[in-house]
Amino acid sequence: MSSMAIDLEEREVAEEASRRWWLFLLTGIAWLFFALLVFQWNYTTIYAVSYLFGVVAIMAAVNEFFAISVSTTGWKIAHGIFGAICLIAGIWALVHPHAAFQTLAALIGYFVLFKGILDITIAFMTRSVVSFWWLQLIVGILEIVLAFWVAGSFTRQTTLLVVYVGIIALARGITELILAFKLKGVKSEIGPPPAVA
């Protein structure tokens, strides 16, 4: 594929994405409200935490599959893989709510690790375009730190697992808001379409 065809594809994706920025704003706000609800509820069993994580993972999968429509080819693959991982983890948590603490904590840990890697990658890829790229970098680093913390010996209490799930929802809300404002600013940076010779 020629570089001109790639540039046209990226331009079309950017134009389409800039028109949908408000959808990511709404999903970001919804994630923040969900995170607040997570921290307010009282979960006392591993079943409740497992169901909670299952719902969060499936919601994240839907978000990732939605992000495919506003991504270029390489990022479509990345969002598709992460969406599939989220979907599998969510279904597993819902089907096996009786799983041991270590298994559920491992699922949460891997989920947050992949999300952190994706956020750091996106932050560096967009740093020349977006002035607040460092915010997504910080969120990604914190997610990776959280993933290793979850993998440690802190996974024996239900309350901590609820906190992990709440932090996942909070981080997702923040990154969705960042994406919304990135997309909103894309239209002004694209400029008029190139003249066809």
Q: Return the domain boundaries, the chain.
A: 14-184
CB atoms within 10 A of CB 8: 14
pLDDT at 141 over 90: yes
pLDDT at 64 over 60: yes
- State the pLDDT at residue 161: 75
Say how many CA atoms lie within 13 Å of 81 toward its Cβ: 9
Q: What's the whole-model pTM score?
A: 0.67
Q: Residue 1: is it exposed, middle or buried by C-beta count within 10 angstroms (0-12/13-18/19+)?
A: exposed
**Residues above pLDDT 90, as percent of the chain:** 8
At 168, is the pLDDT very low, low, confident or very high (cuts 50, 70, 90)? confident
pLDDT at 138 over 90: yes
Query: How confident is the model over 50-65, as a mean pLDDT?
Result: 87
155 compared with 55, residue with greater pLDDT = 55
41/26 Cα distance (integer angstroms): 23
